[in-house]
Structure 1
Amino acid sequence: MHSRTLVMAATLGLMSCARQVPASAPPTSTGPRAVRLLLDTPAQETHTLTALREDVEVDATEGERTPRVVTTGQTPTLSLNGNRARLYGDAKGTLGIAVDNFLLLEVLDAQGKVSRRATVGFTEAVHMGPEIVDSVGRRAFTFEAGEVDITHLLPESAPFQVRATALDTWGVGRVSDVYLLLAPDRRADDDDLRGQ
C-alpha cells in the first residue's frame, strides 16, 4: 500500500507540473532573421530595361511615366513575432541600401493578395489606379543600414510575404542587395536601460 501511495503522489506531482505550462503557448520573439529580398543588380541604361510595370504610373518631371523593371524578388512566408522589420544591404545588418530610382514594396497576405504597398527611393508621386502609394523614408537614392523601417506595413500576427520590385524611370536603373531583417527593437531596449 505504501508503494501505491508513492506512485499516486508522483503521478499527481507530474500532472500538476504539466498544468503549469499552457497547452498553446503564445509565439515568442525569435532571434534576428535575415531574408534576401533583392540581388545586387549593376547599373543599366533605362532604355535597355525591357519589362514595364504597366499598373504603375509615376508623376515624372523627366523620363517615363511607366517605370521599367530593374529586378524583382519575394520573401518566403514570414511572421513578425514582435520583431521590427528593416531593410539592410547585407544579412548581418551592417550595410545600407541603394536604389535608382525606387523600390515598390508590396505586402501579400496568406492568400497571396496585396494588402499594403509603399515606395522607397527617389521618385515623385506613384499611382496604382486611383491609389497614391505612400512613401517610406526620405526621398533619396541611398539609405543607411536599417534606416528604412517597414514594420508598420506588416501584420502583427498574421503570416505575410513581401515582394519588392526595383523600378526605374530615367537615366540608369540599379539596386544593391536588399535584405529584410526581422529583429527585436534595439532602440526600445536602450530606452529601457536608460530609464533604470
Structure 2
Amino acid sequence: MHSRTLVMAATLGLMACARQVPASATPTSTSTEPRAVRLLLDTPARETHTLTKLREDIEVDATEGERTPRVVATGQTPTLSLDGHRARLYGDAKGTLGIAVDNFLLLEVLDASGQVTRRATVGFTEAVHMGREQVDSVGRRAFNFEAGEVDITHLLPDSAPFQVRATALDTWGVGRVSDVYLLLAPGSRADNDDLRDQ
C-alpha cells in the first residue's frame, strides 16, 4: 500500500513538471511573430532629369532613356536573421498593400562585415549590369506588384545575420517608389523550393 502511494506521488510530480514545459517555452514563441522593417519611404514622382545622384557602377541595357540610372531613394534594414521565416516585400507594415516602383529596385544583401553577398533587381527594366556581372531579376517585369508577390527568401542566408539595402532607380520619364517594407513571417525555404521543382 505504501509503495502505491509513492508511485502515485511520483507520477503526479512528473505530470506537474510536464505541464511547466510550455510555460518555459513561451519566450521562444515570439520568434514566430512576423516582423516588418521599412526599406524605402514613399517618394513622389519626379522627372528623371531632376534626379541628380547617379549610380555610376550600374549600366542598364536601356532601349529608351539613360544607361546609367538615377537614384530615386535608398534605405537599409538593421541587422536581421531569417530564423526559418520567409521574406517578402509589401507596401505597409501589416502586409496588406503591394509596392510600386518606376523603374526598378536594386536589392543588395550585406553580410555581418558589410560586404555585398547577393544582388537582385525588382521592377520594369532591361538587363542590369554591375561590372561583368548581370544582376538577376526577381519576379515579373512590372511597375506594380501585389502584396507579398516579391519573395526574396532565396537571396538571404539561412542562419547568418544580414542586412538588405534597397535603392530605387530610374532611367527614363519619371522616377518614383511607394513605401517598401521587408516582412519576415513564418514559413520555410523548403516550401518555395518544392514549388520551384514542379
TM-score band, normalised by shorter chain: 0.7 to 0.9
The structure 2 residue matched to 1:117, chosen from 116, 119, 138, is 119
Equivalent position to 1:60, from 47, 59, 62: 62
Q: Which residue of structure 1 aligns with residue 163 of structure 2?
A: 161
State the alpha-carbon separation in 2 of the partners of residues 58 and 147 from structure 1. 24
Aligned with 2:131 (options 129, 132, 145): 129
1:144 matched to 2:146? The reply is yes
Q: CA deviation at 1:30?
A: 2.8
Match of residue 74, structure 1, among 58, 73, 76: 76
What does the per-residue CA deviation read over 1:32-84, in whole Å, with 9 as the maximum and x for residues that have no partner?
Answer: 00000000000000000000000000000000000000000000000000000
Deviation at 1:185, TM superposition (A): 2.5
Instruction: Give a deviation string over 1:82-121, Cα, whole Å, max 9, x none.
Output: 0000000000000000000000000000000000000000
Give the whole-Å Cα distance in 2 for the aligned partners of 1:184 and 1:59.
37
Aligned residue among 47, 58, 67 for 2:49 = 47
> Size of the alignment, in residue pairs?
165
DSSP 3-state at the match of 1:157: coil
Distance 1:148 1:184 in 2: 16
The farther-off stretch of 27-36 and 56-65 is 27-36
Aligned-CA RMSD value:
1.8
1:179 aligns with 2:162: no
Structure 1 distance, partners of 2:94, 2:180, is: 12
% identity of equivalent residues: 88
Partner of 1:88: 90
Q: Distance in 2 between matches of 1:184 and 1:94?
A: 16
Match of residue 106 from structure 2: 104
Structure 1 Cα separation of the partners of residues 101 and 187 of structure 2: 25
Distance in 2, Cα, partners of 1:134 & 1:123: 11
SS in 1 for 2:62: coil
